[in-house]
A = this chain, B = another copy of it.
Amino acid sequence: MTLTHVQDLDTPALLVHRSRLEGNIAGMQRVADQAGVRLRPHIKTHKSKEIAKLQLAAGAKGLTCAKLSEAEAMSEVCDDLLVAYPIVGEAKFDRLEALSGRVRTRVSVESLEAAQALNSYLARSGRTQEALVKVESGLARTGVEAGELRGFLEQVLRLDRIRVVGLFTHEGIAYRCSGRTEIAGLLAGIAGRLAGMRETFRQVVGIEPEVSPGCSLTAKALTTSHGFTEIRPGTYVFADTFCVESEVFAEEECALAVLVRVIAVKGDGRVVVDGGSKTFAMDRHPRRGHGMVVGHPEIFFDRLSEEHGVLLTKTPERHRVGDLLEIIPAHVCPAVNLHDSLFLREGDEVLDEWRIDARGCVR
């Protein structure tokens, strides 16, 4: 059923290639299957129930969410959710309680204060909560350091309502690596550190833990020897400029582009399009700027204001006001989060419009 054609869509609009999306979903499932790990995709990239359903149908075991509100949305299509984020504050405990009444939940523990507060709440509600311990692997945000893990686990074990079942990390620093070899090395180092932590976990907690890294770039380097039980990649469903520049994904694997229209062409090489930071998000790749213009490797996506995107080219005469361009965002996750829906395409046909169900779910 063809709704319309890409050329007839109003701009700016998110376009998703159906076959590339399905290829990326199948490809990451193969990676997980071959390495003997469960795939629990992070939905922060697509925030779409339809895409989550495709991932689950392809073999994913459960989903990962960053915020409870994302998990609340995804609980309509999946009954096994990891909220890979600290749950802090009474309002969130109430919401976790309600969510856990509907689906299986796991949460992150990464500070003793938050774990103690959650434990006190659970003692009143009578429930027990499964949790994974977030361990730090280079991003310097939250997470338990390797040297603190034993002491942390010993403390958390005293909390009778929280049952720690494993370790997880987010090795997002892979996005700073230059190429596949460096990324494979990073993953090997993280796997080594996690192996040590796994042993500590066994000793302190007395069970075999889940061990779960979570990055689309390192996932492609995964082998059975890394010793993981689960992976949580997110960006792979669409891929983006950062993924291509890391040399882990090809431009032809990028499933999402933003359709924009040229609104000005200036003699100094400026081609201005009708999407800015409220369309693409402000994220910027050091070498490529705010995105890659499909079919125009000679264009540099230089600047964004709120509703203007400024491209630079040495051949402005190739462009005219009114032309359509497709641009792969620098970082696809925050870009998708700015939009209410995406258009599923195959070639120039628009097949469907899907809501971005968890857009704006930051609580």
**Which residues in B have their C-beta under 8 angstroms from that of A274?**
85-86, 88
List residues of chain B with CB within 8 A of the CB of A89: 10-11, 261, 322
Q: Which of A26-34, A122-130, A243-251, A335-343 contacts its partner?
A: A335-343
CB within 8 Å of B: which of A292-329? 305-308, 310, 320-322
Which of A157-165, A214-222, A276-284 contacts its partner?
A: A276-284
Indicate if the CB atoms of A117 and B322 lie closer than 8 Å: yes
Instruction: Give how many copies assemble into the complex.
Output: 2
**Interface residue SS majority, chain A:** loop
Is the beta-carbon distance between B321 and A264 smaller than 8 angstroms?
Answer: no
Of residues 7 to 50 in A, which have CB atoms within 8 Å of B's CB atoms? 8-13, 44
B11–A277 touching, CB < 8 Å: no
Give A338 Cβ to nearest chain B Cβ, in Å: 6
Known: A264-B86, A337-B338. A141 touches B360 (CB 8 A): no
Given the complex of chains A and B, what is the CA–CA distance between A8 and B262 in angstroms?
Answer: 46
Stretch at the interface among A56-64, A106-114, A183-191, A345-353: A106-114
| Nearest residue, chain B, Cβ from A264 | B142
Give the CA-CA distance A11 to B339 in the complex, in Å: 22
Nearest Cβ in chain B — how far from A66, in angstroms? 5
User: What is the number of residues of chain A that contact chain B, defined by CB distance less than 8 Å?
Assistant: 60
Contact of A66 among B86, B307, B360 (CB under 8 A): B307
* A277 close to B281 (CB less than 8 A): yes
A355 at the interface (CB under 8 A from B): no
CA distance A13 to B279 in the complex (A): 22
Known: A44-B306, A307-B67, A338-B337. A110 touches B264 (CB 8 A): yes
Known A337-B338, A338-B360; 6 more pairs at CB < 8 Å: A88-B274, A111-B264, A141-B270, A142-B308, A143-B264, A278-B360
A sample of 23 inter-chain contacts (CB < 8 A) reads A8-B91, A10-B89, A10-B91, A12-B362, A13-B363, A44-B306, A85-B307, A86-B264, A86-B321, A88-B261, A111-B263, A113-B320, A114-B321, A139-B305, A140-B310, A141-B270, A141-B272, A142-B264, A172-B305, A275-B362, A281-B281, A281-B282, A306-B334
